[in-house]
Structure formats: structure tokens, C-alpha cells
Amino acid sequence: ELKVEQNPLFLSMQEGKNYTIYCNYSTTSDRLYWYRQDPGKSLESLFVLLSNGAVKQEGRLMASLDTKARLSTLHITAAVHDLSATYFCAVDLTGNQFYFGTGTSLTVIP
Amino acid sequence: DSGVTQTPKHLITATGQRVTLRCSPRSGDLSVYWYQQSLDQGLQFLIQYYNGEERAKGNILERFSAQQFPDLHSELNLSSLELGDSALYFCASSVDFLSYEQYFGPGTRLTVT
């Protein structure tokens, strides 16, 4: 069974700082997704990464995919309070089955 | 607002009972996916339907079943409920059966007492 691990599970960071969330998965896949979930809310799609070396950026967030290392990263630049949320990565093996990571709960402190 | 609607928002029921959760996909989307989010298990894929047909199955219990109707709305039926079934159930939809972009509904919070 595919295993998807995220670290860290919890992240508390100061505004203005940079940090990276890691997503490792156990089986080869070239489709990986990042989602954001605010407390009590649904999931919001952030990035869709569909090939090795894919890099996507939106505002202060940048996601990348290394399929050979089975690793994706979500990099946060100059964090602001609005980025506080839980971030999930999800790996797609067959085109229609998502395996989600454990989630990283991010708190940005003023 | 993703355009995916789910009803009800909250559901409280007793062990052993049966409930039905409903999902309406975004206009034009043919695929519907069901997920369960709980503290114990995290986010788990349950099942996918595409244009009325089952396309993929994940960690869905035998006590659970789903269907997608001709108007493309979907229902998830949970029976013989146990305390451990308490969770947030999300529905998502996508245009095609290859789920490059999934749009999630607001979820139904099920509490089994």
C-alpha cells in the first residue's frame, strides 16, 4: 500500500521567515497535489504537479516534485499570518485514487 | 465556494443506524469522489463514480455503499453505524475520470453516539 509521509506534522513559525514542508511517498508516481485546509473548512487545491521536476508558485508558496526521490516540497517564503492552516499533500497512483499525507499544521506567529 | 454542495452539514445519529449523505457536483463535472476525514485515520479516499459508474474503490467498508444518479448527484450510504464512523465526509468532483483537479465540497460532519 502506498504510504505518504509529511514532515513536520506541526510547524510554528514567525512572520517573515522561510520554511519547507516535505512530502515523501513510497511508490513511484508522477502526480502529486497540495491542498490547504482551514479549521472546520473544506480542502482548497493549491498545486497540481504532474511531472518530474515540476515547479509551481503562487504568492508566497512554491511547490516542487522530484519523482526519482519520491519527494515533494512546499516552500513558504516570508510567512504571513494568513498562511496559517493545515497543508496536505496527496499522491495519485492510478489517475483516480488519492492517498493523502498526514497533514502539516502551520501556525504563523506575528 | 467550489460549486460542490453537500447535505446535510451535520448529522448526529446512534450506533446501529443508517444514514445517507448527499453530494451535488459542480456543473459539468462527471466524476464524484468520496473521502473520510477522521482524527484516527486522517484523510482517506473511499470511492469514485464517473458518469454513473463506479471507477475506483479505496478504503471503503462493506457497511458503506455509494451510487451516482443520472443527474450526476451522488449519495453515500452508511449502515450499521459504529462510534468509529464519526468523521467528516467530503465529496469532491472533477470534470473527467482522471482527477487532475478535484473540487471539494464543504463536508458533512457525522457524529455517532
pLDDT digit string, tens, across residues A8-35: 999 999 999 999 999 999 988 878 999 9
Residue-level length of chain A? 110
Cα distance between residue B13 and residue B2, in whole Å? 28
Query: Each residue of B20-49: b (16+ CB within 10 Å) or e?
Result: ebbbbbbeebbbbbbbbbeeeeebbbbbbb
Residues of B with CB under 8 A from a CB of A: 2, 31, 33, 35, 42-45, 48, 50, 55-56, 58, 90, 92, 97-107
With cut-offs at 50, 70 and 90, classify the pLDDT of residue B17. very high
CA-nearest of B20, B10, B112, B37 to B74 is B20
Test A96 with B55 for CB contact under 8 angstroms.
yes
pLDDT tens digits for range A65-91:
999 999 999 999 999 999 999 999 999
Query: In this complex, do B43 and A50 lie within 8 Å of one another by their Cβ atoms?
Result: no
B59-89 pLDDT tens trace: 899 999 999 999 999 999 999 999 999 999 9
Query: Are B104 and A44 in contact (CB < 8 Å)?
Result: yes
- The beta-carbon neighbor of A96 closest among B44, B56, B103 is B56
Residue B101 confidence class, pLDDT cut points 50, 70, 90: confident
Distance CA A28, CA A10 (A): 26
